[in-house]
Amino acid sequence: MKKFYIKINNKKILVSEKESILEIARKNKIDIPSLCYHPDLPVKGNCGLCLVEIKGFKKLVRACSVKAKAGMEIKTNTASVAKSRNLNLELLYAEHANKCSTCVNSIDCQLLKLAKKYKIDITEFPKRKSERKTYKFSKAVEIDGSQCIDCRSCLDACQLLSGIKHLELKGRGVKQEIVPKKQEDVFSGLAAKKKGFACVYCGQCALHCPVGAAQEQEQLSKLEPVLKNKSQDEIIVAQIAPSVRVSIGEEFGLKPGTLVTGKLVTALKKLGFDAVIDVNFGADTTTIVEAQELIERIKNKKPLPLLTSCCPAWVRYVEYYHPELIKNLTSSRSPQMHTAGLIKTYFAKRNNISPDKIKIVSIMPCTAKKYEATRKELRYKGKDLIDFVLTTRETAYLIDKNKIKFNALKDTKMNNMLSEHSGAGAIYGSSGGVMESAIRTALHVLENKDIAKIDFKECRGMKGLKEASVKVKNRKLKIAIVNGLANFQKIVDHIDKYDYIEVMTCPGGCIGGGGQPIPTNTDIRLARMKSLYSIDSKKKLRKAHENSYALKALHYLESQKIDKEILHTSYSEKNK
């Protein structure tokens, strides 16, 4: 690639020709604000905040849309840049109904940050969208039209990253609005079915919204009084997902990928949780159960490929868009549901607590986990296992709101019967992690001996589709990992050539989940991933089936004849 010099604010910078001025500036720590630019998505040039002056250009230029050319002289903070940028920011702010005092996303809100930075008078224009509607998608995600600033990143995230085209932009000019597509009657045979573009609740819209107009449906306001008014005989348990420990630190200014398990446990204890349990434990039981199913399916030539089901957005996608694949989904419940099931049975029994007195709060990187927790198929004895599901962002907001100085906290260990886990459980939060964990265990069982190879690097990384074939005994196990739901289209027509497929809706897997800190981008995803793999590599215990605590728990369920109810489930076609 050609390299040449340009000047930004009189500073000489060596650049390559394919880079935009905005990318170059940010790489060189020169601040150019933007609200509609996101490195995951195509450049749009809508918001009008990344304006710069280029010598020889009559008009101001959008730094996101112009590629560098040799000799370009760019100024990022002239009077005319400042004037237009501030005015556009003022105009955008006037679109955004002011709900900051109760908004969970206020700690991540880029509009708020820019308004403070440039000292924008937020009352200059009257708000124009106060009457707009809020669209709610299951219990997972919502889009509040009164806060939308028309950047359209949610639209691109929905279409390009998740590939489901559930959102659309209706109307023109000031009347344009992001809305869910209407379902239409589709005739199949004699019966009319409602079909269209259903939401899978992944929350990528929320993750890419700079102003919290698309966000999780918060459950904090209901959880807070529960924590406050807890009765003596009641216990509130937090269960934390594998990926949250490497991301939540970012909300308190720590570097992406910083591992903060101990601080998170301390913070949760301070907030009033009686116990903190590790979903990594449930990841190990999921691996053991799922690997067993893989082996059975291979032996009995039962429907292959086996499809993972720990991503609830993917399960929802299969049920709605590809019901013919339901038979391929593993019957194993997800780590969130395994852990919750074990808390209400094994943990309750061993600690002599009535299951009805335990409230479970999931701390998840995900918005779809909110939906999963309410699924009828995943109840136990007719009741939901989980009471609340918080995203990483909500959890950080709660910690911040309670004035807990997160970075100054001492570490606390989880230290209970549901906290010991293998390295395989730790990497569940990364795309390819579920596959790698399952293979470590399945190979061991199929070969009936200890396998020296532990790292399956072909499962790792940010590629949209990862394929490999693993030699086992006299055959080859063909595997595929779909990283980002839109990439499923690459294999949808020939999935029968694989034996086992992992699908994660969010790019990067759960570390890039819809409930994770904002911003999330490729660099940040990679840092979070790296941190998970280093937990794994530092562990002595690397394989799920070697986790004696997990085996003990599974044994308990079998002895009580509740293993089927707690560990397995089934799915059905959905038309809504």
Partner 1 sequence: MDLLKKIKKYNLKGRGGAGFAVSDKWEAVLSSKNKDKYLIVNGAEGEPGVKKDEYIIKYHTKEFLAGVKLVLNYIKAKKCILFLNHDYSKYDTKIKAYIEEDNIEIRYKPINAGYVAGEESTMLNILENKRSEPRSRPPFPTESGYKDSPTLIHNVETIFNIYLVSIGKYKENRFYTINGEVRNPGVYNFPANYTIARILEETNNLPSFKFFVQHGGQASGEILNSSQLKKQASGCGAITIYSYKNSNDFILIKNLVNFYFNSSCGKCTPCREGTYRLKEMLSGEKMNWPHFLELIDNLENSSFCALGSSLAIPVKSYIKNVNPDFKPEL
Closer of 84 and 469 to partner 1 (Cβ): 84
Strands, sheet with 3-8, edge to edge from the N-terminal-most edge strand: 11-16, 3-8, 73-75, 51-54, 61-62
> Can you say how many angstroms the Cα of residue 542 is from the centroid of all Cα atoms in its chain?
24
User: How many CB atoms are closer than 10 A to CB 527?
Assistant: 17
Closer of 44 and 139 to partner 1 (Cβ): 44
Q: What is the DSSP letter of 116?
A: H
CB of 141 to partner 1, least distance (A): 24
Amino acid 66 reads V
Closer of 51 and 237 to partner 1 (Cβ): 51
From first CA to last CA, the distance across the chain in angstroms is 49
Closer of 9 and 84 to partner 1 (Cβ): 84
d(CA 499, CA 192): 34
Closer of 124 and 447 to partner 1 (Cβ): 124
3-state helix, strand, coil in the chain (%, to 5): 40, 20, 40
Closer of 49 and 504 to partner 1 (Cβ): 49
CB of 70 to partner 1, least distance (A): 16
User: How many CB atoms are closer than 10 A to CB 448?
Assistant: 8
CB of 67 to partner 1, least distance (A): 8
Q: Closest by alpha carbon to 303, among 270, 325, 335?
A: 325
Closer of 43 and 279 to partner 1 (Cβ): 43
Q: What is the DSSP letter of 490?
A: G
CB of 111 to partner 1, least distance (A): 12
Q: 433 φ, ψ to 5°?
A: -70, -40
Closer of 149 and 532 to partner 1 (Cβ): 149
CB of 151 to partner 1, least distance (A): 9
Contact residues toward partner 1 (CB under 8 A) are 43, 45-49, 51, 59-60, 62, 65, 67, 80, 83-84, 87-88, 91-92, 94-95, 124-126, 128, 150, 169, 171-176
CB of 172 to partner 1, least distance (A): 5
Q: 569 φ, ψ to 5°?
A: -160, 180
CA dihedral of residues 118, 516, 182, 316 (deg, nearest 10): 180
Closer of 175 and 182 to partner 1 (Cβ): 175
- Whole-angstrom CA distances from 142 to 41, 138, 213 are 21, 9, 8
CB of 88 to partner 1, least distance (A): 5
CB of 30 to partner 1, least distance (A): 19
Q: What is the DSSP string of 356-414?
A: GGEEEEEEES-SHHHHHTT-GGG-BTTB-S-SEEEEHHHHHHHHHHTT--GGGPPP---
Q: What radius of gyration, in Å, describes the C-alpha atoms of the chain?
A: 25
CB of 1 to partner 1, least distance (A): 17
